[in-house]
Amino acid sequence: MAQADYQIRWLKAEVEQLRRKNMTLTRSLHSAQARARAAEARLSLHERSGLPTRPELERHLTSLLQGNASGTMGLALLRLDEHFAILQRALRPSMTEWVLYEMGNRIRGSVGAGAAVYHLRDEEFALVFETVDSEGALEILLSGVIQQVRAPVTFPGYQLAVGCNVGVALCRREKCDKTNLLRKADLALNDARQSPAAIRFFASEMRSAAVERVQLQADILSSFQHHAENGHGHQFSMRYQPIIRVDPDPMSGRVLSVGVEALVRWRQADGSVVGPDRFIPVAEETGLILPIGNWVLYRVARDIEAWREDGVHLESVNVNLSARQLLDPQLVDTLGIIADRFPETRNRIVLELTETSIMERPEEAVERMREIVQAGYEIAIDDFGTGYSSLNYLRSFPTTCFKIDRSFVSNMTQRQQDRAIIRTICSLASDLGYRVIAEGVETEAELMMLQAEGCDSFQGYLFGRPMPADEVPGMIADLDNRAWREAITLN
């Protein structure tokens, strides 16, 4: 009995031990499984936003397109705009991480259960809509998302705003191809980034536009080579548009001085003229803007000399510089060489820079701007009011002039807000002792209103369209006979 008792106890103990072992094993198995799941989840979740990443997006699309379901589905790519890149350079990494986290949350929050949201790269998100009832409804939903993204992000002492663009591709699930869908959404996104509309739906023309862009790049290159080899191939040429400064005394109506803005033109071999709005961005991408920009400076300097020989005195000649030119380490040397070779240009050429191009790399840009001023050139801020620059940065720009963007001027007679913006820019400029030039003045009504707001320099079709260098002396001689003179005196 004692023997049997002992055996039972021994067996029980054995069973208990096994049970314990088993429990530990099960526990460690469970925890290993949990760790593996967490690691896998970490791999497919974006570390900043906690949203699933590209491989997950691809998997989702594959599974959607493999099923038997029919109907229309949609893919939207959302990219934060250049303000985010500016923040990335200007803020501490922890702050940018917070901005991304916040953006992810807002996007997810504003689509709710309507879409799956993915975080592809720092500034790019994707939204998958499994069923799309209509393009219009989707557009309304996405407008809501954009509004959420645009709302300011607040830190103690800061308020930041980031914009975004969205490209959308729709497809019938039964005949859709994943790669094709991604490519279409990407083309639509590119289109949105270049157009004033924040959302674009894919259209087949976009594919041809992309092909055209590559063709344009090749054409600019061959044109410039031809131009450089033949010197006077007339592929690139300059036009000059008057900038008129009038006496701020409303009774006088006197023209105090005349300047011009130099605007480049490109005539292709077939005779068609391509506007700078189209070819400058492409020339920027390829780097060709540097030799083209140097040619522009040289050509302008020669024209200034020629005008002087004709006895024509221009107060200033404004030349546009793009971001890439501003950041070119050779720029200041080139400006020095031009000023030495054409002494007339010293203190006459004003370089126009946009806020956006300065804010691409603000510290470097401000440093370069100081060197430019030391080399004897002035700086004007172009398209003022459309870019993103804090007043703090503005204070550090060694500039002397703001150019009010055309969009404010053309709306000011109908929109109170645009008029208020113009008033603010004029009063800021006056406090800082800067000059203000209003761009795109087309009517006498605009001219009178601008004068009333305290603006004294004007540029626009009302005063003259961009013209070849040899028409500039005639334009100046003819100023007295122009109809707009009456608007100035009447005011």
Residues lying near ligand C2E in the complex (CB under 6 A): 241, 263-264, 275-277, 280, 293, 296, 320-322, 352, 382-383, 406, 439-442, 459-461, 466
Name 382's bridge partners.
Answer: 354
Per-residue burial over 35-56, b if 16 or more Cβ lie within 10 Å, else e, is eeeeeeeeeebbebbebbbbeb
Instruction: Note whether 317 and 326 are within 8 A (CB).
Output: no
Report the residue number, 79 or 435, with the smaller CB distance to ligand C2E.
435
Q: Site map for Ca ion, 379-418, x if CB under 5 A?
A: ---xx-----------------------------------
Name 257's bridge partners.
Answer: 245
Q: Minimal distance in Å, beta carbon 453 to ligand C2E?
A: 18
Q: What is the token pair recorded at 329?
A: 């380490």
Q: Minimal distance in Å, beta carbon 461 to ligand C2E?
A: 4
Instruction: Note whether 408 and 453 are within 8 A (CB).
Output: no
Report the residue number, 241 or 316, with the smaller CB distance to ligand C2E.
241
DSSP assignments along 119-177, one per residue: EEETTEEEEEES--S-HHHHHHHHHHHHHHHHSPEEETTEEE---EEEEEEEEEGGG--
Which entry of Ca ion, ligand C2E, none binds 229, CB below 5 to 8 A by partner kind? none
Q: Which helix (H) or strand (E) holds 57?
A: helix 54-66
Per-residue burial over 319-347, b if 16 or more Cβ lie within 10 Å, else e, is bbbbbbbbebeebbebbeebbeebebbee
* Choice from 284, 352, 418, 456 touching Ca ion (CB under 5 A): 352
Which entry of Ca ion, ligand C2E, none binds 57, CB below 5 to 8 A by partner kind? none
Report the residue number, 56 or 352, with the smaller CB distance to Ca ion.
352
Sign of CA dihedral 204, 205, 208, 210: negative
Q: Minimal distance in Å, beta carbon 273 to ligand C2E?
A: 10
Report the residue number, 10 or 461, with the smaller CB distance to ligand C2E.
461
Pick out residues in 268-327 that bind Ca ion (CB under 5 A): 320
Q: Minimal distance in Å, beta carbon 303 to Ca ion?
A: 17
Q: What is the token pair recorded at 121?
A: 């790269």
Q: Residues with Cβ < 8 Å from 237, sequence gap 6 or more? A: 264, 265, 267, 468
Sign of CA dihedral 306, 312, 314, 320: negative
Report the residue number, 225 or 356, with the smaller CB distance to Ca ion.
356
Question: Nearest 5 degrees, angle CA 345-CA 349-CA 353?
Answer: 155
Which entry of ligand C2E, Ca ion, none binds 216, CB below 5 to 8 A by partner kind? none
Instruction: Note whether 49 and 100 are within 8 A (CB).
Output: yes
Report the residue number, 104 or 460, with the smaller CB distance to ligand C2E.
460
Q: Minimal distance in Å, beta carbon 329 to ligand C2E?
A: 17
Q: Minimal distance in Å, beta carbon 287 to Ca ion?
A: 21
How many angstroms separate the CA atoms of 13 and 32, rounded?
A: 28
Would you give the DSSP letter of residue 113? G
Which entry of Ca ion, ligand C2E, none binds 343, CB below 5 to 8 A by partner kind? none
Report the residue number, 82 or 122, with the smaller CB distance to ligand C2E.
82
Which entry of ligand C2E, Ca ion, none binds 275, CB below 5 to 8 A by partner kind? ligand C2E
Report the residue number, 82 or 124, with the smaller CB distance to Ca ion.
82
Strands (E), 174-316: 199-201, 236-246, 255-267, 273-274
With contacts defined by CB under 5 A, how many residues of the chain interact with Ca ion?
4
How many angstroms separate the CA atoms of 322 and 126, rounded?
A: 31
Instruction: Note whether 126 and 65 are within 8 A (CB).
Output: no
Q: Minimal distance in Å, beta carbon 293 to ligand C2E?
A: 6
Report the residue number, 241 or 451, with the smaller CB distance to Ca ion.
241
Q: Minimal distance in Å, beta carbon 158 to Ca ion?
A: 29
Q: Minimal distance in Å, beta carbon 124 to Ca ion?
A: 30
Report the residue number, 199 or 488, with the smaller CB distance to ligand C2E.
488
Report the residue number, 102 or 439, with the smaller CB distance to ligand C2E.
439
Q: Minimal distance in Å, beta carbon 310 to ligand C2E?
A: 23
Nearest alpha-carbon partner for 458 in 255, 277, 312: 255
At residue 483, the 3 state secondary structure works out as coil
How many C-beta atoms surround the C-beta of residue 75 within 10 A? 29
Which entry of ligand C2E, Ca ion, none binds 451, CB below 5 to 8 A by partner kind? none
- Residue 378 interacts with Ca ion (CB under 5 A): yes or no: no
Q: Minimal distance in Å, beta carbon 440 to ligand C2E?
A: 4
Q: Which residues bind Ca ion (CB under 5 A)?
A: 320, 352, 382-383
